[in-house]
Amino acid sequence: MYDVIVIGSGPGGYVAAIRCAQLGLKTAIVEKYPTLGGTCLNVGCIPSKALLDSSEHYHNAAHTFETHGIKLSNLKVDLKQMITRKNDVVKQNTDGIQYLMKKNKIDVHQGVGSFVDKTTVKVTKGDGTSSDIQGKNIIIATGSKPSSLPFIKLDKDRVITSTETLNLKEIPKHLVVIGGGVIGLELGSVYARLGAKVSVIEFMDSLIPTMDRTMGKELQKSLKKIGFEFFLKHKVTAVESKGKEVTVKAENGKGEIIEVKGDYVLVSIGRKPYTDGLNAEAAGVKITDRGQVEVNDHLQTNVPNIYAIGDVVKGAMLAHKAEEEGVFVAETILGQKPHINYNLIPGVVYTWPEVAAVGYTEEQLKEKGIKYKTGKFPFMASGRARASMDTDGLVKVLADAETDEILGVHMIGPRTADMIAEAVVAMEYRASAEDISRMSHAHPTYTEAFKEACLAATDNRALHI
Ligand code: FAD
């Protein structure tokens, strides 16, 4: 009998298992695929960043090296090698998780985990053989899968999801992306930088519509420069594929239908929680109408010894959110009282410029009727950004009008994915914009832009603009 069985080895599941083992609990993890790490390591965060890095190198070599005084001739893309390197990066990471399981003495059971009852999980291998394992506590961490629209036939050849987009055999001539969210824009960027024309069709009136509206507008300007075209406020009504040609039909606000033809269509309209094969009913675990495992504030399901974390429950579908929840549940099982501040989970888009945010957006503050001040600093005015020719974007700080407490930070620019950590720390400690304004930031760094935006938010005292 295990103390804990974790079903699913993504960032939620494997982190939960490690924390359980650290706390002295006898732990097992069940994973249906031969490699550990889930969506994030195998077909998500890691491979996408590997390809984003490679394509950014190529793009810089093709477009900015000459200005830097570096001349190249015969510059070519070897997509096969790019994908091979990406696969190597994935392997290093998934092997790393295997090592961590061994180091922490966690038993790995390969196969599909399905409930027999509330303490028994049947593990069924690919060859059909199965065995039962028992656990006092069970953590469901089965993640998510790409969603689609009912009229779209994903043939996984020309009409594809993020998973296939990470393994293309050729650079599309024209990639049509359905959905202007994080995944579509990141993967669209990979191929735009390698020379593809990329058309994005988005239902809402802004890209990355859940983020502060300034970010979407700025990102749109930057992505246009590398060959993106955008159809906002367009509702996709049909996707047709004939040989190597795909046609996407979409309706604009006036009821007119446009047609965009390409050679590949990436359907990236979001992800849906995944519980297929889990047989949650056998344990009596409730699944919501949206397909999520229902949990309370302690991430406990309606069955007290069964918990659920990550993409399969409510909240942002992010690897670091899943990880926090993994630690939270492990500590809860041991009777500790952990805490997650969901408002301070940062969100990042790894385009170039990168977009990163934490806390409230301006739209949310307006909706809540909270009075706020805004401080902005453009990267154009940053010496560091000028040195690296990364002057697109800005940092926007929203602070409480009376107390000066930082309520939201929204950044678009170079390395903001890393810079946002400072804002998270500041907000966890409930810093005011003035607090940050009075802290020394190394010069020249991109981080000075955060300090300058805080200066701008206090008494309009930015120094370099
Ligand atoms: P998952 O990672 O989905 O893992 C679930 C695991 O459970 C899988 O391995 C699955 O095989 C296994 N499983 C499911 N059912 C069973 C069963 N019955 N038995 C056994 N095993 C089972 N997030 C970020 O924070 N940053 C990023 O940069 C980022 N980039 C992304 C890029 C792409 C292209 C995609 C698709 C996603 C990206 N994400 C990113 C999202 C991130 O991958 C997810 O939020 C994260 O993986 C969720 O972790 P999880 O542990 O909940 O589930």
Same domain, 164 and 62: no
- Number of structural domains (the chain) is 3
**Looking at residue 437, what is its pLDDT?**
98
In a domain, 402, yes or no: yes
Task: Count CA within 13 A, CB hemisphere, residue 292.
Answer: 18
In a domain, 187, yes or no: yes
Same domain, 291 and 215: no
Q: Which of 57, 68, 298, 443 is catalytic?
A: 443
Q: Is the CB of 323 under 6 A from ligand 1?
A: no
Tokens of 90: 């994935």
Contacts of 374 (CB under 8 A, 6+ apart): 362, 396, 397, 398, 456, 457
In a domain, 365, yes or no: yes
Same domain, 193 and 163: yes
In a domain, 395, yes or no: yes
- ipTM summary value: 0.99
Q: Is the CB of 113 under 6 A from ligand 1?
A: yes
| DSSP 8-state code for residue 27 | E
Q: Which of 156, 152, 117, 124 is nearest to 138 (CA)?
A: 117
**Looking at residue 29, what is its pLDDT?**
98
DSSP secondary structure string, 333-364?
Answer: HTT------GGG--EEE-SSSEEEEEE--HHH
Helices (H) and strands (E) in the chain, counts: 15, 22
Mapping DSSP to helix (H, G, I), strand (E, B) and coil, where does residue 136 land? strand
**Looking at residue 253, what is its pLDDT?**
87
Pick the residue whose CA is nearest to atom 36 on ligand 1. Answer: 44
443 an active-site residue?
A: yes
The confidence band for 325, taking pLDDT boundaries of 50, 70 and 90, is: very high
In a domain, 348, yes or no: no
The confidence band for 91, taking pLDDT boundaries of 50, 70 and 90, is: very high
Q: Phi/psi zone of residue 62: left (φ > 0), alpha (ψ -120 to 50 degrees), beta?
A: alpha
Annotated binding site for NAD(+): 179-186, 202, 270
- Choosing from 226, 254, 269, the residue where a domain stops is 269
Q: Ligand 1, residues 45, 48, 107: which to mutate, most atoms within 8 A of Cβ?
A: 45
Same domain, 137 and 120: yes
Asked if the bond preceding 209 is cis, omega within 30° of 0, the reply is: no
In a domain, 239, yes or no: yes
Same domain, 301 and 446: no
- Choosing from 252, 269, 286, the residue where a domain stops is 269
Distances from the Cα of 266 to the Cαs of 40, 48, 162, 274, in angstroms? Answer: 18, 14, 7, 20
Same domain, 116 and 26: yes
Q: Is the CB of 162 under 6 A from ligand 1?
A: yes
Tokens of 251: 């309706």
Structural domain span for residue 278: 2-143+274-334
CA distance 348 to 458: 26
Q: Which pLDDT tens digit goes with each residue over 154-210? A: 999 999 999 999 999 999 999 999 999 999 999 999 999 999 999 999 999 999 999
Same domain, 124 and 177: no
CA distance 243 to 87: 29
Asked if the bond preceding 146 is cis, omega within 30° of 0, the reply is: no
Same domain, 240 and 109: no
The confidence band for 214, taking pLDDT boundaries of 50, 70 and 90, is: very high
Pick the residue whose CA is nearest to atom 8 on ligand 1. Answer: 38
Q: Does the pLDDT value for residue 352 go beyond 90?
A: yes
- Mean pLDDT along residues 245-268: 96
CA 83 to chain centre: 20
- Choosing from 250, 269, 288, the residue where a domain stops is 269
Same domain, 226 and 370: no
CA distance 16 to 3: 13
Same domain, 88 and 40: yes
Q: Is the CB of 351 under 6 A from ligand 1?
A: no
Q: Is the CB of 39 under 6 A from ligand 1?
A: yes
Ligand 1 centroid–CA 396 distance in Å is: 30
Same domain, 301 and 376: no
Q: Does the pLDDT value for residue 268 go beyond 90?
A: yes
**Looking at residue 165, what is its pLDDT?**
98
Task: Count CA within 13 A, CB hemisphere, residue 345.
Answer: 16
In a domain, 342, yes or no: no
Instruction: Give start and end residues of each alpha helix (H) in 289-407.
Output: 319-333, 362-368, 383-388
CA distance 189 to 68: 23
Same domain, 260 and 308: no
CA distance 179 to 198: 12
- Mean pLDDT along residues 399-405: 98
Bridge partners for 198 per DSSP? 175, 228
Q: Ligand 1, residues 121, 140, 142: which to mutate, most atoms within 8 A of Cβ?
A: 142
Angle between helices 79-103 and 45-63 (to 10 degrees): 140
Ligand 1 centroid–CA 308 distance in Å is: 14
Bridge partners for 178 per DSSP? 201, 267
Mean pLDDT of the chain: 97
Q: Is the CB of 183 under 6 A from ligand 1?
A: yes
Ligand 1 centroid–CA 371 distance in Å is: 38
Q: Does the model's pTM come out above 0.90?
A: yes
Ligand 1 centroid–CA 162 distance in Å is: 12
In a domain, 346, yes or no: no
Q: Does the pLDDT value for residue 462 go beyond 90?
A: yes
Tokens of 226: 């590398």
Buried/exposed code over 325-340 (b: 16+ C-beta within 10 A; e: otherwise): bbbbbbbbbbeeebee
Ligand 1 centroid–CA 40 distance in Å is: 5
